Amino acid sequence: MGWYRMLLSLIACLWLAGCADQKTAKVTVKFDIVGGDNSFGATIYAQEVTSGQTLLFPYGPHTPYIALDLPAPGRYVFYARLVEAPDDYHYGYTSESPAAYGHGTRGGTQDPAKASLIAVDTKPGGHYKAYINDYRAILPVPGGPVKVPWRLE
Could you report the per-residue pLDDT of 114-131, keeping only the tens digit for each?
A: 679 999 999 999 999 999
75 strand-pairing partners: 121
Instruction: Confirm whether pTM is higher than 0.85.
Output: no
Distance, in Å, from the CA atom of 53 to the CA atom of 40, rounded to the nearest integer, reads 26
30-54 per-position pLDDT tens digit: 999 877 778 899 999 999 999 999 9
For the chain, list the domains and their CATH numbers: 23-152 (2.60.40.1120)
**CA 51 – CA 144 distance, rounded (Å):** 7
C-alpha closest to that of 46 among 12, 5, 92:
92
One-letter amino acid of 117: L
